[in-house]
């Protein structure tokens, strides 16, 4: 769906005069940089980080654009997707007035960021098979909902949302739909990235924290219409991606593609191993189908299994506090050795 994006942006954001960083006011070739109050001598490191990093991350965006078949100005890079989730809510939701819709059980950050921004929260639960229902969501949205967050594959349930339902929401919602694809490269379903062209109300989030193995460098991407990207860029802090991350990630993107593709295959293979092995344990009630890099399983007594694994030095994620997920543990696919160790500990519990 095409909507009037500027109309949806909060007035204070529309009227913002963005901070202009020292170096971006200058065009041309300079050899003496006395404009930004940096230390001219260097850093007490083998590599120098004494200069402020590129606030627009031009090289990184070019590389990410080429890898994803989009233009550089269709991308905003965040200090992790977390920063982008916060930014999106900040731009579109007026405190106390506008609502964010979430579909639990799902990623908790959407609600945390909504609460930080004092946005209202509307919840439409996923159904028994953890699916979204477009009609339900659209009829609950009302006039105050500005944003709908969908997560596919969904964390912590692991399943894909039905593409038809997601498309229906995107085609009919007169607000922004954020589709979080943190786990898309472990999935059998294709990305919704190619829908961004015809739908300026769609923001697709991806991250380098999972399959790319760079959670510590904090790089998340928002793909959207140029107008949306422009608002994100104007509102973000100028130096949100530090210089070390920019350099290291650029290097990884240039040289790591083959390795990452191999890891994706191996991780999916390991996830299947975990699912099969877990399903054979007598105290496992259900292993949910997963298209991500983890498995959600329901146990007879989740807390007991969780504590038992902790005492064996194996940490998994207890999801019992999520609605509908009592006694459920989320287990990330590790290396073959880690997964075998987990399974052999669980067999002893039995
Ligand atoms: C892990 C994860 C992310 C990634 O967050 P970063 O801040 O980019 O590390 C985003 N969304 C979901 C649903 C996740 O599980």
Closest residue by Cα to atom 5, ligand 1, is 81
The residues that bridge with 121 in the sheet, in sequence order, are: 100
Q: Is 174 helix (H, G, I), strand (E, B) or coil?
A: coil
Average pLDDT over residues 101-128: 98
Q: Which of 64, 82, 108 to mutate to test the pocket of ligand 1 (most atoms within 8 A of CB)?
A: 82
Model pLDDT, residue 62: 98
Using the atom order of ligand 1, give the atom closest to the CA of residue 107: 13
Closest residue by Cα to atom 1, ligand 1, is 182
Here the tokens at position 65 are: 């654009």
pLDDT above 90 coverage of the chain, percent:
95
Model pLDDT, residue 157: 98
Instruction: Give yes or no for residue 328 having a pLDDT over 90.
Output: yes
Here the tokens at position 116 are: 């930080």
> What would the DSSP string read from start to end of 21-70?
-GGGG--S--S---SS---SS--SSSS---SPPPTT-HHHHHHHHHHHTS
Q: 220 alpha carbon to ligand 1 midpoint, in Å? A: 8
What is the average pLDDT value for the chain, to the nearest integer? 96
Q: 282 alpha carbon to ligand 1 midpoint, in Å? A: 32
Average pLDDT over residues 134-161: 97
Model pLDDT, residue 287: 98
Q: What's the half-sphere exposure (Cβ side, CA atoms, 13 Å) at 264?
A: 19
**CA 107 to CA 128: how far, in whole Å?**
17
Q: 267 alpha carbon to ligand 1 midpoint, in Å? A: 17
**CA 228 to CA 308: how far, in whole Å?**
47
Is residue 221 within 8 A of residue 205, CB to CB? The reply is: yes
Instruction: Give yes or no for residue 136 having a pLDDT over 90.
Output: yes
Q: 261 alpha carbon to ligand 1 midpoint, in Å? A: 19
Model pLDDT, residue 329: 98
Using the atom order of ligand 1, give the atom closest to the CA of residue 82: 7
Q: 207 alpha carbon to ligand 1 midpoint, in Å? A: 6
Average pLDDT over residues 139-165: 97
Q: 241 alpha carbon to ligand 1 midpoint, in Å? A: 16
Average pLDDT over residues 207-225: 98
Give residue ranges with CB within 6 A of ligand 1: 80-82, 107, 151, 155, 180, 182, 207, 209-210, 215, 220
Q: 47 alpha carbon to ligand 1 midpoint, in Å? A: 29
Cα–Cα distances in Å, from 28 out to 61, 82, 318?
A: 21, 35, 55
Closest residue by Cα to atom 12, ligand 1, is 182
SS3 of the chain: helix, strand, coil, percent, to 5:
40, 15, 45
Model pLDDT, residue 18: 78
Q: 288 alpha carbon to ligand 1 midpoint, in Å? A: 20
Q: 255-311 pLDDT, tens per residue?
A: 999 999 999 999 999 999 999 999 999 999 999 999 999 999 999 999 999 999 999
Using the atom order of ligand 1, give the atom closest to the CA of residue 207: 8
What's the pTM? Answer: 0.97
Instruction: Give yes or no for residue 19 having a pLDDT over 90.
Output: no
Model pLDDT, residue 52: 95
Q: Give the number of other CB atoms < 10 A from CB of residue 118.
A: 13
Model pLDDT, residue 20: 75
Model pLDDT, residue 21: 75
Q: 210 alpha carbon to ligand 1 midpoint, in Å? A: 8
Q: With bands split at pLDDT 50, 70 and 90, how would you rate the model's confidence at 106? A: very high
Q: Give the number of other CB atoms < 10 A from CB of residue 186.
A: 22
Q: Which of 81, 151, 186 to mutate to test the pocket of ligand 1 (most atoms within 8 A of CB)?
A: 81
Using the atom order of ligand 1, give the atom closest to the CA of residue 106: 13
Q: Is 75 helix (H, G, I), strand (E, B) or coil?
A: strand
| Short-list 166, 197, 168, CA closest to 180 | 166
């Amino acid at each position: 769906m095409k909507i009037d994006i500027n109309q949806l942006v909060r007035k204070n954001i529309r009227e913002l005069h963005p901070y202009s960083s020292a170096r971006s006011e200058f065009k041309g070739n300079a050899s003496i940089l006395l404009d930004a109050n940096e230390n001219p001598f260097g850093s007490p490191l083998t590599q120098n980080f004494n200069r402020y990093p590129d606030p627009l991350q031009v090289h990184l965006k070019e590389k990410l654009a080429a890898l994803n078949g989009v233009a550089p100005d269709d991308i905003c890079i965040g200090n992790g997707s977390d920063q982008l989730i916060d930014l999106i809510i900040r731009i579109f939701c007026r405190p106390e007035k506008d609502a964010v819709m979430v579909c639990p059980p799902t990623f908790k950050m959407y609600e945390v960021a909504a609460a930080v921004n004092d946005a209202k929260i509307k919840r439409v639960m996923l159904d028994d098979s953890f699916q979204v229902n477009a009609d339900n969501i659209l009829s609950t949205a009302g006039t105050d909902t500005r944003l709908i967050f969908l997560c596919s594959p969904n964390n912590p349930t692991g399943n894909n949302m039905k593409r038809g339902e997601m498309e229906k929401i995107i085609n009919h919602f007169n607000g922004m739909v954020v589709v979080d694809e943190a786990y898309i490269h472990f999935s059998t379903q294709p990305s919704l990235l190619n829908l961004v062209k015809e739908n300026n109300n769609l923001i697709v989030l991806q991250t380098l924290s999972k399959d790319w193995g760079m959670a510590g460098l904090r790089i998340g991407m928002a793909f959207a219409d140029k107008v949306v990207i422009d608002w994100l860029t104007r509102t973000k802090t100028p130096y949100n991606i530090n210089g070390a991350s920019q350099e290291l990630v650029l290097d990884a993107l240039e040289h790591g593609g083959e390795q990452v593709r191999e890891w994706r295959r191996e991780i999916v293979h390991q996830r299947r191993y975990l699912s099969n092995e877990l399903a054979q344990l007598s105290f496992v009630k259900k292993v949910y189908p997963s298209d991500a890099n983890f498995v959600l399983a329901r146990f007879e007594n989740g807390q007991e299994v969780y504590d038992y694994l902790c005492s064996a030095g194996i940490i998994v994620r207890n999801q019992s506090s999520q609605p509908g997920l009592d006694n459920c543990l989320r287990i990330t696919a590790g290396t073959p050795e880690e997964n075998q160790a987990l399974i052999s500990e669980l067999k002893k519990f039995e």
